[in-house]
A and B are shown apart, each in its own frame.
Chain A
Amino acid sequence: MSELKKIPTRNGFGDEIVAVGKDHPEVVVLDIDIGKSCKTQDFRKELPDQYINVGIAEQNGAAVAAGLATCGKVPFVVTYAAFGSMRICEMIRQEICYTNLNVKIACSHGGFTPANDGASHQAIEDMGILRTIPNISIMMPADYNQARKLVRAAAETYGPMYLRFTRDAMEQVYGPDVEFEIGKAYQIQDGKDVAIIANGDTVSLAIKAAKELEAKGISARVLDMHTIKPLDVDAVKACVEEIGKVITVEDHNIINGLGSAVCEVAAEMGKGIVKRIGIQDQFGESAPYERLLAKNGITVENIVATAEALQ
């Protein structure tokens, strides 16, 4: 994976949404001014009749999208994750989820990936906040190719959805032909000593950690939990039943994100041990992306050390 060029997953969204829009004329991109940054400029140019820009008015954008969805459109509301989850949280709840309308919130700048922008633009709470709202599905692809697959799946599957992409470039994990299903974990490799469950930009860290663990004689199952809601409960249960030691890794606050979702399953089973690696309930700052992750222990080294300590 490391020999390939790194690409931000927002580019996967930007490239696939054009293809999706051509295949499905009901698909509409609704920008909130920051389309260039969210990679919708090609869609704007190629499919102007399916393109809306409401200016810097996120709340209005979400509600207009709900109105469009009642007319058979499939709007993708495009903004940054901090705004697309929190600024418009109540519109998502009231007009998109309560109504169960076919609106997709597609957000760049997930987690620490807008590293230089500082804490205002680093969405570390988004998936956790939205996870508590009924009817919504929540996804974060690991790389460019998975982003493309999940964007198409989102457009072709009915229901409110939140998709979180990265601003910064991510290593490529998957080839262009790998298929993914919303709500189904993707098993990258099997193992028997520890299960590492990651999503989004931390999947590549999990894969590297598994390689290092293998060299130390520890066999790791690696799951890409690209959809944290609906969670693939069966896949989590299988990790707890068959392995019993689980590590979660996420570029999100450890409160209410992937780690919490996995813990909820394990706790109700009454067995297994789960260690959560993620943002330590603290805001970020303007700094290199890798430094922000490191300050929170979101590193290959910490995954390896945590796995070793579990043995």
Chain B
Amino acid sequence: MNDISMKDLKNKATEMRMKVVDMIYKAQSGHPGGSLSAAEFVTACYFKYMNVDPENPKWEDRDRMVLSKGHVCPIQYACLGTLGFFPEEVLDTLRKEGSPLQGHPSMIKCPGIDISTGSLGQGMACAAGMALGGKMNKKDYKVFCVLGDGESQEGIIWEGANTANKYKLDNFIVFVDDNGLQLDGPCDEIMPNGDLGEKFKAFGWDVCYINGNDMEEVCKALDWCYSDEAQNGNPKAIIGKTVKGKGVSFMENQVGWHGVAPNDEQYAQAMEELKAQLI
């Protein structure tokens, strides 16, 4: 765990958002909406909680991060580039030929990616496998996994949830980026999820509900995952209510910003708005 103030962590999340917008603008391709909604959780993990070594990305004792909703990888790339897993200028190569920063994360191309994802649902079960591997190898690391609420419609999510319960994977922390929208529209309209927290509880998980865009609540939830009482055999689900496109006014809660890049004017406005959010 790294010593970082709440103010610095909040600013980090804003900086990561700016990098996300910048990368997607330069690529003229990518998924801004979900990358922005998950920013607090992914930033908190990488800059405060995760034990990783940019010089040794495959270090076997490292904490793992799996974006099961792989299309929001710009937020992960922003963190990895900032931490020095690769030179920061590589961020400008997102989705370009020869780049380690594939449109969906590839563990064989990009240092710091713990498993390739992009086909929804599978990352959840892979992450459960990593947490199980940690238990079998008697390691102390934790596995963090970001799910989409839309993604939770995949059956394999619940198969993975079963496995995590059976094998008592209390080292497994899932963040559900509950932004309420999926590609074709509002989740409630496309396929209602009901209460995702109650579903996880029914699978034997410890569950908390937070505002996923409130850094203090994110940290409080993660602090609890590290507490003594949380080492109880139960995997953890943090249901984070978030705003898709958070931080950029015209992207917020807009289905249309799931997978499109900003134009010149939109880019300038987005960067200006985000800059104003630095404290």
Tell me whether A280 is interfacial, beta carbon within 8 Å: no
A72 touches B116 (CB 8 A): no
Tell me whether A161 is interfacial, beta carbon within 8 Å: no
Q: Closest CB-CB distance, B125 to chain A, in whole Å? A: 3
Q: Which residues on the A side are within 8 Å of B80 (C-beta)? A: none
Segment of A94-102, A221-229, A258-266 in the binding face: A94-102
Segment of B20-28, B159-167, B205-213, B270-278 in the binding face: B159-167
Could you mark each residue 52-74 of chain A with 1 if its beta carbon is under 8 Å from any beta carbon of chain B, else 0?
10110101101111111111110
Contact of A57 among B123, B132, B162, B167 (CB under 8 A): B162
Could you mark each residue 90-133 of chain A with 1 if its beta carbon is under 8 Å from any beta carbon of chain B, else 0?
11001100111000000000000000000000000000000000
Tell me whether B133 is interfacial, beta carbon within 8 Å: yes
Tell me whether A234 is interfacial, beta carbon within 8 Å: no
Q: A59 and B107 in contact (CB under 8 A), knowing A72-B137, A94-B118, A94-B119?
A: no
- CB contacts under 8 Å to B, within A16-63, are 28, 49, 52, 54-55, 57, 59-60, 62-63
Q: Closest CB-CB distance, B196 to chain A, in whole Å? A: 18
A66 touches B115 (CB 8 A): yes
Q: Which residues on the A side are within 8 Å of B117 (C-beta)? A: 94
In this complex, the interface size class of chain B, counting residues with CB under 8 Å from chain A, is 35 or more
Tell me whether B268 is interfacial, beta carbon within 8 Å: no
Contact of A91 among B122, B132, B162, B167 (CB under 8 A): B122
Q: Which residues on the A side are within 8 Å of B122 (C-beta)? A: 59, 63, 90-91, 94-95
Q: Which residues on the A side are within 8 Å of B134 (C-beta)? A: 71
Contact of B156 among A28, A63, A67, A72 (CB under 8 A): A63
Tell me whether B194 is interfacial, beta carbon within 8 Å: no
Q: Which residues on the A side are within 8 Å of B132 (C-beta)? A: 52, 64, 67-68
| Nearest B residue to A56, CB-CB | B159
Contact of A63 among B64, B106, B126, B166 (CB under 8 A): B126
Tell me whether B94 is interfacial, beta carbon within 8 Å: no
| Nearest A residue to B122, CB-CB | A63
Cα distance A66–B114 in the bound complex, in angstroms: 11
B160 touches A63 (CB 8 A): yes
Q: Which residues on the A side are within 8 Å of B163 (C-beta)? A: 54, 57, 60, 64
Q: Which residues on the B side are within 8 Å of A64 (C-beta)? A: 125-126, 128-129, 132, 160, 163
Cα distance A67–B125 in the bound complex, in angstroms: 8
A49 touches B136 (CB 8 A): yes
| Nearest B residue to A69, CB-CB | B129
Cα distance A70–B129 in the bound complex, in angstroms: 9
Binding site for B on A (CB under 8 A): 28, 49, 52, 54-55, 57, 59-60, 62-73, 90-91, 94-95, 98-100
- 25 A-B Cβ contacts within 8 A? A49-B136, A52-B167, A55-B166, A57-B156, A60-B162, A63-B122, A63-B123, A63-B124, A63-B126, A63-B128, A63-B160, A64-B160, A66-B115, A67-B130, A67-B131, A67-B133, A70-B64, A70-B129, A70-B130, A71-B133, A71-B137, A73-B136, A90-B119, A95-B115, A95-B122
Q: Which 9 A-B pairs have the closest CB atoms?
A: A67-B129, A71-B133, A63-B125, A60-B159, A64-B129, A57-B159, A67-B126, A67-B130, A60-B125
